[in-house]
Amino acid sequence: MEDTLKIAVVQSNLVWENPIQNRMDFTKKIEGISETVDLVILPEMFSSGFTMNVEAVAETMEGESVRMMKGLAAKKQAAIVGSLIISEKGNFYNRLLYVKPNGDMDVYDKRHSFSLAGEDKVFTSGTKKVVVDYKGWRICPLICYDLRFPVWARNTENYDVLLYVANWPKPRISAWDALLKARAIENMSYCVGVNRVGLDAKNYEYPGHSTVYDVLGERLSTIKANREQIEIVTLRKSHIEKNRRHLGFLNDKDTFNLTT
């Protein structure tokens, strides 16, 4: 088990419904990371932007974007994480892929569809919470709108890192900031949020505000708003263990069962 986990937060603009260009852009960005890192995190729907026009951009699990992620993970010897639109057995999923350097993958389908944008009418919701074991760390990956639902994120699995990838727009960015910090504090875990920047084809603006919080809700990142940027942050297992042992807040959590 490694005490440190070095993550690269990739805050990026997305080209609307253009997987080819987005793959080219992210390949260049990831290959340009000069430091050795363990984990590279991309935004939600990194290949297309947050579109409901699924027929234009959906891929399969054997598609080019998955191949890109596998190739980059192997080349950089780092896990690559991000969500994209996947077509499978007649359904469409907003699916997060956690691709490890050896090619193994964990997948998480977005549980909470964003009904305000009609996502619930296009996408099939996931039913399974996922915790990824990686380099001795337990990582729980979730997607955007999931952030508003703390019961789904509740740390009943003793995870170390809660991770959100997003396309979170400017008018509600204060909620993004507040909820990421709250999720870190209430779950006594690191909480990482990676949001896109720029305008989409519907003229929605995304300001970024990608960030990393420690288990006490202290911000570790210095990434700027409204700009493309890659920031590398080191997480420490000893920080989690020390504070959980000293404070013991998770020992007092409620017991409950989720039904789907």
* Helices 19-31 + 64-76 axis angle, to 10: 0
Residues tagged active-site: 44, 110, 144
Q: Which residue is it, tokens 């870190």?
A: 184
User: What contacts 68, CB < 8 A, 6 or more positions away?
Assistant: 23, 26, 27
Are the beta carbons of 106 and 120 closer than 8 angstroms? no
Q: Which residues of 133-171 are buried (b: 16+ CB within 10 A; e: fewer)?
A: ebeebebbbbbbbbbeeeeebbbbeebbbbbbbbbbbbe
**At 201, which helix (H) or strand (E)?**
none
